[in-house]
């Protein structure tokens, strides 16, 4: 039976409307009232270091204006951690992204950052707690966070991961200019260029470039890297041919077992487990009966490198290339 | 299992429940602003009030009285408090909007399983946001139309456009014909949701190898309250302003619709007008919530059930109290996760599922027990 009377007394809708209007007005008022202009230098602050303010051109064509030598740097892009640690004294880095402990050279040398702060989320409240004067992140790091930090006058530099070996040296130079450590950057770049040149010479001297597939498998699905990736560049630099790129595949992509069998590379490059010789990718390739006839497995040509080197997009990819090249000697 | 709304017996007078919820909301609001974190410590009530006063130009900003030492890092206490304010207002507003949308749709469909995702709003918002995020991360740069620098705005606006666009399509298709029924609308919603779910999976599949893009998509999928700004809070405020006034226009009609459309029509209810108003309010409420904080599930589904368990099923009480309860619930969950998980916070959508799932189950089982006793 239908009752025209509601079961319970109502809340007066006008009150709800009122609350809502007041909240909105308060919200707009609070947002509009405070002066949001970037902070001006405080009286008593030290004068800028020599060479500052400076303008630094970025690879995407934009420019960043640094008022002073960065003294409190936050690195929110794992790919920039290796270079930042080499170019800066650790006391000028105030925090690193948490992933750096796993996916940068810190995975192999945790003592460098032992007991120092890392953050899991790139949110404005967290980053602001470190009072940074320079924040390095990737182009697609939380857009809202970048917006808020820039609104507060903090320099945020977005740098895309390099995809070729030739981008690595200029990246070091750029970071050196941002950090005001140009000399150290020049030394590092000189050393890096020499290592790259040596690898290129060795690769050019080889008559045969054996085929190789970079393969990772953490569950049922296998993954590989085609052209346009830094690991592809490292494979070529080491004197191998990336079998996946050779059939026209680009970027990170799935590699079903039947495709791996069809490619049948002479060598396989897999990530090792953390702190162990035998990683999941390696053991799945070595033990999976469906891959028993794979050339690389029959000839015991499976190269396992540390997972952070397998995935790195820093200049340390050259170390991965060197570890690969050694296997051809 | 019953999927109906059931005629639960009120346990609290609605005005008393409203008073309790309002008091809880104020307490949570202050706690959220003042809570302690390992990075910031805590703000006491005086600092919170002074910080809010500073935003209105009535007091000095927090940290302004800290002695200045050359080379020392800048004090950002005032900025941190402001960020917490926007986060708090956004969380409360999103909870309120989602709960209101859920209560409206459960009333319209006469089905306790109806939630804001049913009419395609959430799926549409996800589609818009996904396309914008993929465009910004370089996978579909053509879709930016030269708006690449307006990143955060772009994702929010794309989500809003997607939500309103898709729900518009659902409503238009669902209400076609001489005598459109809510059942048709429901089925159209299911079909469109399935289609968009497939599209979203395809988009995710295309960028599985791109960690940055995947991380952004995942963050959106589970909702986020990080780095909220004034315009996020403003958007949910606008959503409330557009939808709360609809409550008195549809509350009694939804009560009458509970016995069926034909009966309601016979009693003089303009069913078509009611449907349009409810769908408009639900779509706008969900769209502004999802565009401001991503997808946060379960609020719209669970809160109306909790409110009905407290005050009965009359929509004149359920609808406004759902607004309050939604705000309290999401704010409480956000505060709880900040305090419990510390520097390893969960996305609000994850937490809502973890908390909302068992609560929903408890409400259902309690309902079954009551009906057996009866």
Q: How far is CA B60 from CA A34, A87, A299, B116, in A?
A: 11, 40, 74, 43
A38 by Cβ neighbours in 10 Å (0-12 / 13-18 / 19+) ranks as: exposed
Give how far A128 is from chain B: nearest CA, Å. Answer: 7
DSSP strand pairing (A267-271 vs A211-217):
parallel
Residues of A in Cβ contact (< 8 Å) with B213:
140
A53 by Cβ neighbours in 10 Å (0-12 / 13-18 / 19+) ranks as: exposed
Domain ranges of chain B: 45-62+78-373
Q: Looking at chain A, which residue has its C-alpha nearest residue B259?
A: A2
Give chain B's count of helices (H) and strands (E).
Answer: 14, 0
Q: What is the DSSP string of B90-104?
A: HHHHHHHHHHHHHHH
A–B interface: beta-carbon pairs under 8 A: 197
- Per-residue DSSP letter, A68: S
What are residue B226's phi and psi, to 5 degrees? -75, 150
| Residue from B333, B320, B367 nearest B112 by CA | B367
- Nearest Cβ partner for B240 among A20, A129, A142: A20
Residues of A in Cβ contact (< 8 Å) with B35:
none
Q: How far is CA A258 from the centre of its chain?
A: 31
CATH number of A206-326: 3.40.50.1980
The interface predicted TM-score of the complex, written ipTM, equals 0.72
Q: Do B316 and A6 touch (CB under 8 A)?
A: yes
> For residue A271, what are the β-bridge partners?
A305
| Residue from B176, B162, B169, B189 nearest B105 by CA | B189
| Residue from B273, B253, B274, B277 nearest B264 by CA | B253
Contact indicator for B295, B126 with CB cutoff of 8 Å: yes
- Nearest Cβ partner for A128 among B76, B219, B311: B76
> For residue A227, what are the β-bridge partners?
A250
Residues of A in Cβ contact (< 8 Å) with B71:
45-46, 71
Give chain A's count of helices (H) and strands (E).
Answer: 14, 13
Q: Looking at chain A, which residue has its C-alpha nearest residue B342?
A: A120
Cα first-last separation, chain B: 16
Alpha-carbon distance B190 to A63, whole Å? 49
| Residue from A18, A5, A14 nearest B315 by CA | A5
How would CATH label the architecture of A54-187?
3-Layer(aba) Sandwich (3.40)
Alpha-carbon distance B311 to B305, whole Å? 10
Judged by a CB distance cut-off of 8 A, whether residue A72 touches chain B is: yes
Residue B60 three-state SS? coil
- Nearest Cβ partner for A34 among B55, B216, B229: B55
CATH number of B45-62+78-373: 1.10.3470.10
Give how far B84 is from chain A: nearest CA, Å. Answer: 8
Tens-of-pLDDT digits for all 374 residues of chain B?
Answer: 344 565 556 678 888 889 999 999 999 998 888 876 767 777 888 888 888 888 888 888 887 776 666 666 777 888 888 888 999 999 999 999 999 999 999 998 888 888 888 788 888 988 998 888 887 766 655 554 555 455 567 888 888 899 889 888 888 888 777 666 777 888 888 899 999 999 998 888 877 767 767 777 877 888 888 888 888 999 999 999 999 999 999 999 999 988 887 888 888 888 888 988 998 999 899 989 988 998 888 889 889 998 998 898 899 999 999 999 999 999 998 888 877 776 667 778 888 888 878 887 887 787 777 666 54
Alpha-carbon distance A177 to A54, whole Å? 9
Judged by a CB distance cut-off of 8 A, whether residue A329 touches chain B is: no
Q: Looking at chain B, which residue has its C-alpha nearest residue A139?
A: B137
Question: Omega of the bond prior to A197 within 30 degrees of 0, cis?
Answer: no
Q: What is the DSSP string of A260-309?
A: HHHH--SEEEEEPPTTSSS-HHHHHHHH-GGGTT-HHHHTT-EEEE-HHH
Chain A, window 184-243: residues with a beta carbon less than 8 angstroms from a chain B beta carbon: 223, 225
Instruction: CATH 3.40.50.1980 in chain A: give the residue spans.
Output: 54-187, 206-326
């Amino acid at each position: 039976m239908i009752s025209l009377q509601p079961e319970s007394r109502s809340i007066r809708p006008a009150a709800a409307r009122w609350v809502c209007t007041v909240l909105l007005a308060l919200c707009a008022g609070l947002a509009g009232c405070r002066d949001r202009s970037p902070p001006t230098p405080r009286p008593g602050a030290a004068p800028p270091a020599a060479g500052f303010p400076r303008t630094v051109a970025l690879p995407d064509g934009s420019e960043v204006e640094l008022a002073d030598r960065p003294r409190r740097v936050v690195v929110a892009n794992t790919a920039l951690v290796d270079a930042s640690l080499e170019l800066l004294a650790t006391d000028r880095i105030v925090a690193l992204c948490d992933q750096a402990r796993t996916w940068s050279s810190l995975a192999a040398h945790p003592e460098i950052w032992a007991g120092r702060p890392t953050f899991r989320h790139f949110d404005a409240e967290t980053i602001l707690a470190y009072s940074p004067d320079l924040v390095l992140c990737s182009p697609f790091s939380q857009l809202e966070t970048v917006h808020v930090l820039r609104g507060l006058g903090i320099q945020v530099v977005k740098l895309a991961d390099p995809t070729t070996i030739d981008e690595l040296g200029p990246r070091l130079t750029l970071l050196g200019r941002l950090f005001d450590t140009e000399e150290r950057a020049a030394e590092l770049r000189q050393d890096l260029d020499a290592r790259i040149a040596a690898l290129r010479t060795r690769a050019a001297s080889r008559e045969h470039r054996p085929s190789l597939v970079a393969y990772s498998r953490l569950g049922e699905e296998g993954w590989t890297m085609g052209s346009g990736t830094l690991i592809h560049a490292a494979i070529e630099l080491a004197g191998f041919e990336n079998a996946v790129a050779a059939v026209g595949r680009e970027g990170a992509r799935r590699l079903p077992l039947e495709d791996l069998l069809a490619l049948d590379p002479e060598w396989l490059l897999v990530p090792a487990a953390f702190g162990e010789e035998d990683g999941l990718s390696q053991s799945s390739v070595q033990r999976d009966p469906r891959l028993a006839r794979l050339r690389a497995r029959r000839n015991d040509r499976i190269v396992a490198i540390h997972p952070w080197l397998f995935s790195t997009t820093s200049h340390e990819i050259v170390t991965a290339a060197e570890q690969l090249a050694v296997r051809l000697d | 299992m019953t999927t109906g709304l059931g005629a639960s017996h009120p346990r609290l007078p609605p005005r008393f429940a409203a008073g309790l919820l309002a008091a809880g909301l104020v307490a949570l609001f202050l706690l959220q602003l003042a809570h302690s974190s390992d990075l910031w410590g805590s703000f006491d009530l005086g600092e919170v009030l002074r910080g809010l006063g500073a935003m209105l130009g009535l007091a000095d900003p927090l940290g302004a009285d800290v002695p200045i030492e050359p080379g020392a890092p800048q004090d950002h206490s005032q900025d941190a408090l402001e960020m917490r304010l926007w986060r708090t207002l956004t969380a409360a507003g999103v909870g309120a909007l989602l709960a209101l949308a859920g209560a409206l749709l459960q009333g319209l469909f006469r089905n306790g399983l109806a939630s804001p995702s049913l009419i395609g709003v959430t799926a549409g918002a996800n589609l818009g946001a996904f396309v914008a995020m993929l465009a910004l991360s370089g996978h579909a740069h053509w879709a930016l139309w030269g708006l690449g620098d307006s990143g955060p705005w772009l994702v929010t606006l794309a989500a809003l456009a997607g939500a309103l666009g898709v729900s518009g399509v659902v409503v238009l298709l669902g209400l076609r014909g001489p005598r459109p029924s809510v059942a048709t609308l429901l089925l159209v919603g299911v079909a469109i949701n399935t289609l968009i779910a497939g599209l979203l999976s395809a988009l995710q599949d295309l960028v599985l190898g791109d960690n940055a893009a995947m991380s952004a998509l995942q963050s959106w999928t589970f909702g986020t309250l990080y780095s909220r700004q004034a315009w996020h809070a403003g958007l949910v405020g606008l959503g409330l302003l557009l939808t709360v006034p609809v409550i008195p226009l549809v509350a009694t009609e939804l009560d009458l619709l509970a016995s069926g459309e034909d009966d309601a029509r016979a009693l003089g209810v303009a069913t078509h007008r009611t449907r349009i108003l409810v769908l408009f309010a639900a779509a706008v409420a969900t769209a502004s919530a999802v565009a401001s904080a991503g997808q946060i599930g379960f609020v719209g589904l669970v809160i109306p059930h909790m409110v009905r368990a407290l005050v009965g099923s009359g929509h004149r009480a359920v609808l406004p109290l759902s607004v309050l309860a939604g705000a309290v619930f999401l704010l409480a969950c956000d505060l709880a996760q900040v305090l419990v998980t510390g520097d390893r916070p969960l996305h609000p959508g994850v937490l809502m599922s973890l908390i909302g799932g068992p609560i929903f189950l408890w409400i259902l089982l309690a309902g079954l027990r009551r009906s057996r006793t009866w």
